[in-house]
Structure 1
Amino acid sequence: MASENSDSEEEILVYAEFKDNINIDNHKNLHVLGIDTKSPVFQLDDTFYIGKFENPFGTYMFFGEDPSPRSLDPLFDKLPDKSLQYICKTRKFLTLQHALITPKEGQEKQTEQSEPEDNYNTAPIKFQSIPEALEHFRKEWCDNKELIKK
């Protein structure tokens, strides 16, 4: 009996809203990863979006164009140019925002420009007084400022 329950599937409709103005019809590929997690990932071509489920204030209803609209009173009712029919509803609301991909920690960044030396990994400096510390950092700041100008 347990194997019969594991083969069943449940279909749940989710309303997804992008923070950016996106026209999905302009994209060729759409991949969804982890839709059953707290923060699913959508990939539209080469662009990634991170999702977050929220509680909507109401129910989202979906309508589609009615291929055969009919009137209850054909004598007095005028059919509109476009008629819609109810398809389904959902209370699942997913907001998606653009995700910036960063390299993993431990991997070196490959840049064309040389990066400045890291002077912060030196041993701590001990000062006798606050004015001595202020003078030291003021001098260091002025020296760095002149290096930038060159």
Structure 2
Amino acid sequence: MSNIESLSDEEEEVLVYAEFEDTVNFDKYNSIHVLGLDTKNPIFQLDDTFFTGTYENPLGTFMFFEEDPSPNTIDPLFDKLSKKNLKYISKTRKFINIQHAYVKPKEDKQEQEHQQEEQSSESDNIKPADFKSVQDALEKFKKSWEENASKE
């Protein structure tokens, strides 16, 4: 087996802490999909509800624990176990802040073309600024401001 093949067969598991801004009850969803976790803005789909995430730098380290079904105690006489005992699993510095995303339906092709034409015509009307001095620029901007104000 070559070295390249052994590298491609290996997978790295990385834990990521994800925090939803809205309260989300995961029990009511049948399917959960995460798309583009390795991209700048991953997308989370819970049934028909969409969320977008952004990676952020946390102030500290997030630690993951799980319930310990058989906790150990060194001295059973003096070490009293609490009702819920946790066991350390892992830690991470990767944090995703997740917000609700609203999906808009696609517009008609005619309406899209019309908007593109308007945008292109507006960008065609823009001319480069040619001022000889700061005073000259102020006068031209003041004049155009007054013209626009009088039109309204």
Gaps of 5+ in 1: 110-120, 122-128, 138-150
Q: How many residues were matched structurally? A: 115
Determine the structure 2 residue equivalent to 1:36.
38
- TM-score, normalising length from structure 1? 0.69
Determine the structure 2 residue equivalent to 1:113.
none
- 1:85-125 Cα distance to aligned partner (Å, 9 max, x none): 1111111000000111123455468xxxxxxxxxxx8xxxx
Q: Which residue of 64, 67, 70 maps to 1:68?
A: 70
Q: Which residue of 21, 25, 28 maps to 1:26?
A: 28
Gaps of 5+ in 2: 112-117, 119-145
- TM-score, normalising length from structure 2? 0.68
Cα distance change of structure 1 residues 98 and 88 upon mapping to structure 2, 3 Å threshold: same
The answer on 1:4 being equivalent to 2:43 is no
Q: Alignment RMSD, CA only?
A: 2.2
Match of 1:35, as an amino acid? L
Match of 2:38, as an amino acid? D
State, as a whole percentage, how many aligned pairs show the same letter.
57
Give runs of aligned pairs for residues 88-107 of structure 1, distance below 5 A.
88-104=90-106, 106-107=108-109
Match of 1:78, as an amino acid? K
Moved over 6 A (4+): none
- 1:41-95 Cα distance to aligned partner (Å, 9 max, x none): 0001100000000000000001111110121111112111111111111110000
- Deviation at residue 31 of structure 1 after TM alignment: 0.3
Q: Which has the higher helix share?
A: 2
